[in-house]
Chains A and B, each alone.
Chain A
Amino acid sequence: MELPMAGLGTVGEALSRQGVSRRSLLKYGSYLATLMALPAGSGRAIAQALADARRQSVIWLSFQECTGCIESLTRSYSPSVEEMIFNLISLDYQETLQAAAGHAAEAAREAAMEANRGDYVVVVDGSVSTLDNGIYSTAAGRTNLDVLRETARDAKAVIAIGTCASFGGLPAAQPNPTGAVPVTEIITDKPIINVPGCPPMPEVMAGTIAYLVTFGTIPDLDHLNRPKPFFGDTIHDRCYRRPFYEQGKFAKSFDDEGAREGWCLYEVGCKGPTTYNSCATMKWNGGTSFPIQSGHGCLGCSEPNFWDAGSFYSALPTRVGVDDRVLPAALAGGAVLGAGAALAARARKKAALQQQAGAVTGVSATREGSEA
């Protein structure tokens, strides 16, 4: 993939330089409008706004991550569509994609920060190590924590790409040895857009960035800072297997009659009902399929703590974090306490009877004594 040269002319100018016609831009505008459920006909307005928009300077920071997010974005099924995004932005720093290395790379980041102070966007993929001042993840001899704080200081907004940057993700899973946290726990004074997913859908990443460039504002966000156009519905709400859920037709294992009939995967652990993402509508690999269509339940990868929220194969309403010894212990404890209480009552009764008998004997003895 060829990255456009740095420089902040308008998007229209950048496109003309590459021989991309306005028709392509209009086509892309219609595509974005469909993607983000904007009113039909806004394709033209989006195309116009994009053409006139200044290319957005983007500094992309990669922390505790696996590069899956950038792979998802750059190796998407329809490269021409997602590559469009690289015409909208000036990607001034991205460790995996940039040609520069070493001091030159760091110098590019600093130059972009200086040139676009208050106006650049920071994209983060990966969680941030905080334990022992964040020494468990460093680049160019500096901790991620330090670089994030410095880079975000003069940014216009921060986009957290992927579940690690959004919610901590895999690095933050138990026992979280590096003290990994999401971007929101470090940066508190900037608008932050979370685009979770492991990885996020390429259309969702590109759409979010395009929205920012087109309208110059951040889209409507939900309570977890996720753009509502992409994270407004659950997988379950939009799942083509939903009718089977309503009819109570469930696959009980991955190889039974129900699984072969394509019934609902709720009982084999599908997290679709509690997972907000666009997989069921946009689908992966250029609209080919998504996990449930391939016969596997949703893992809930765009939700916080998805790695620690019980087995991927245990159904949603069942217990998590179970210690198998607790209920037998409660049973035994109840039996012992009950027996103990009953025995104590028996002992009390016996004592009372003896006391009664003793009292009777004592009285008669006294009487005998007095009589004597």
Chain B
Amino acid sequence: MSMTLLEFARGPALNLSLAIFVLGVVFRLVWLAFLPRAVDRSVARGRAGTVLRSAIGGFVSHMWPAKEYRARTMFSTVTGYVFHFGLAIIILFYAQHILVIEDLTGLKWGGLPTGIITIVSVITLAALLAMLVRRLTNPVLKTISTFTDYWSWFVTTLPVATGLLAMSHMFARYETLLAVHILSVCLLLVSFPFGKLMHAFLVFATRFQTTYFYSRRGSHI
């Protein structure tokens, strides 16, 4: 008998895409960590401890837009937080996902009831759609958007949508829905290291680097 779609998704597809994900992410992180860097030859203003504190303070304060920009960026900031937290809740607290994490890492914890996950998923999907609409309607955002922006949105949204379908048991057989959901996650995993989705790891490095750079010069941003 030939392999069913679910067997393909759970087997070769998931194993291969996880391997690509791990290889790609580790490659980029190690590479970036050891790339030659220009030495900052300026004299630091303040002691090292003060600079570090200031840099961390800047990192934290940038988690919310400055007063001057707040009116303009409030929508995307709030919507962004909604779907990021939503994704975290779905990935970390849906019982079925915890099984996958346990299978991969051996770690496990308690999940949330399916009803709550469903509500969070719907809110997350709505937030992601709102982000797309904003990208398509805001003239500036539209102009600077490239294929990778849309692709990143697509591979992030697809697993949420297919996951909701799989939970609903609607429109197709469950084994097909589950297979399609797993395959959509495979697409996300394979895309992850090679585009803007790497920000999940790199946001800490880039934002800290920026705040540290300015703090060293005595500018508290």
Contacts and interface: CB of A to CB of B under 8 A. Distances in A.
- A–B: direct contact at CB < 8 Å: yes
A99 interface: no
A236 B174 contact: yes
A337 interface: yes
Interface of B: 1, 3-4, 6-7, 10-12, 14-15, 18-20, 22-36, 95-97, 99-100, 103-104, 111-115, 169, 174-175, 178, 182
Nearest to A349: B36
Interface string A178-192: 000010000000000
Interface stretch (A47-55, A60-68, A150-158, A307-315): A307-315
Contacts of B23: 330-331, 333-334, 337
Nearest to A264: B95
A226 to B, nearest CB: 12
A230 interface: no
Most buried by B among A168, A308, A337: A337
B100 A316 contact: no
Given A314-B103, A331-B22, A304 B36 contact: no
Nearest to B108: A252
Contacts of B174: 234, 236, 273-274
A311 B135 CA distance: 45
A317 interface: yes
Interface in A161-190: 167-168, 172, 182
Contacts of B97: 317
Contacts of A321: 10-12, 15
Interface of A: 167-168, 172, 182, 234, 236-237, 245-248, 250, 266-267, 273-274, 304-305, 308-310, 314-323, 326-327, 329-331, 333-335, 337-339, 341-343, 345-346, 349
Given A309-B7, A310-B10, A327-B18, A334 B26 contact: yes
B99 A267 contact: yes
Contact of A334 (B10, B24, B96): B24
Consensus secondary structure, chain B interface: helix
10 contacts: A172-B1, A266-B96, A308-B7, A309-B7, A317-B182, A327-B18, A338-B27, A339-B30, A342-B33, A345-B36
A318 B169 CA distance: 19
Contacts, number: 138
B103 A338 contact: no
B11 A319 contact: yes
A342 B31 contact: yes
Nearest to B18: A327
Contacts of A322: 15
Contacts of B104: 319, 327
Contacts of B35: 342, 345-346
A128 B119 CA distance: 50
Nearest to B181: A317
B1 A318 contact: no
B1 A304 contact: yes
A317 B96 contact: yes
A306 B153 CA distance: 36
A310 B12 CA distance: 12
Nearest to B185: A317
Contacts of B24: 334
A316 B178 contact: yes
Contacts of A345: 35-36
B103 A319 contact: yes
Given A319-B15, A327-B19, A338-B27, A305 B10 contact: no
A274 B25 CA distance: 33
A247 B114 contact: yes
A108 B81 CA distance: 77
A333 B32 CA distance: 15
